[in-house]
A and B are shown apart, each in its own frame.
Chain A
Amino acid sequence: MSSGNLSEFILHHIVDGHKWQILPFEWAVVNVPAPLSLHVLMLLIGALFTFLLARTAANRVNLLPGSPVGHMVEVLLLYIRDEVARPNIGKKDGDKWVPFLATAFFFILVLNLMGLVPAFAGATANISVTAALALMVFLVFNIAGMIHNGPFHYIKNIIPSGVPMWVLPILVPIEIISIFIRAFSLTIRLFANMTAGHIMILVITGLISVLAPMISGGLHGILGGASNSIALALIAPFPLAFLLFILVIKVAVCFLQAFVFTFLSSLYIGGALHQEH
């Protein structure tokens, strides 16, 4: 594989399309119909899976969690309530925001992890998906601030009080821009982390077929016709071992990015509800 083929291989696996390759064969390609695309299909599957996860976890006989899934979800939910919502939004308001934060966390987590499962695509490596998620958080924290403080007070309180008059022409645009930058940074962070992770995995996989021709030329004099496949077998274990290491890190990054998105959302919601006066 030349470097041109490698970049095509990487782009093919990252860019959204209308073909869903379920198995690595020619016949196992499903055409996704026109209103949907591959990543939209993955969003729908992810939403269904998140719903089933929450439904299974909530399915309990008495107050004790019944299943392993219930225990797993409960640990994460308690972490979101005690370490994310309550310290950042406040004890009284924090509990009201746990459902929203938990939904965002589990949905993003499921979408991130689907990018690592074979036959599925990572929808969070598409900037439109992360932009939509960030736009939702942007609308939620602004509207929540307006409902909680009243629209007039919310907009008035964006400007910090007690600053000299001549600073205001500089300060007001900065404060207004900083609100929009929040949504933008949420978008870019999730998108860049997921895309970089996928590219990393694909580059290391592609390294096998880039490196194999390099040593097959040397082996050709000794082994003759079989040199290509033997070179492939000799070189393949090294990128694959490194790939295993990268995949372990990638699973941690999936959890971390879902957590960071939720944590920053709770910070923004807390800042909009309890503005400084």
Chain B
Amino acid sequence: MDYQSIGYLGAGIGAGLAAIGAGLGIGKATASTVEAIARQPEVKDDLRANLILGAALMEGVALLGAVISLLIVLLK
């Protein structure tokens, strides 16, 4: 295995780890929001705005990881 292959391997593992982190975060947030709405349906609108904002922030971190992985592959 040469150095370039190890680089590709690292890029793939990095993208996967970023996806795991964001998946855990968004999953936890959505689960808590759905639970809260089930308990108290009248706060639905407030919770939705907060959920979207939080999901966008978490997604941003995952996309940052994905972009860095892509840069590793494209700009070798």
Complex Cα distance, B75 from A11, in Å, reads: 9
Q: Which of A258-274 contact B (CB under 8 A)?
A: 259-260, 263
A259 CB contacts on chain B under 8 angstroms: 52, 56
A199 within 8 Å of B by Cβ?
yes
Taking a contact as CB atoms under 8 Å apart, the answer to whether B57 and A260 are in contact is: yes
Q: Which of B20-45 contact A (CB under 8 A)?
A: none
Known A-B contacts A188-B60, A193-B59; A260 and B73 likewise in contact (beta carbons under 8 Å): no
Complex Cα distance, B74 from A196, in Å, reads: 13
Complex Cα distance, B60 from A196, in Å, reads: 10
Q: What is the interface residue range for chain A against chain B?
A: 10 to 19
Interface 1/0 per residue, A232-243 and B, CB below 8 Å: 000000000000
B53 to chain A, nearest CB (A): 6
Taking a contact as CB atoms under 8 Å apart, the answer to whether B73 and A7 are in contact is: yes
A98 to chain B, nearest CB (A): 17
A10 within 8 Å of B by Cβ?
yes
A83 CB contacts on chain B under 8 angstroms: 49
Complex Cα distance, B59 from A192, in Å, reads: 10
Taking a contact as CB atoms under 8 Å apart, the answer to whether B63 and A263 are in contact is: no
A91 within 8 Å of B by Cβ?
no
Nearest residue, chain A, Cβ from B55: A256
Q: Which residues of A contact B (CB under 8 A)?
A: 7, 10-11, 83, 188-189, 192-193, 195-196, 199, 256-257, 259-260, 263
Q: Which residues of B contact A (CB under 8 A)?
A: 49, 52-53, 56-57, 59-60, 63-64, 66-67, 70, 73-74
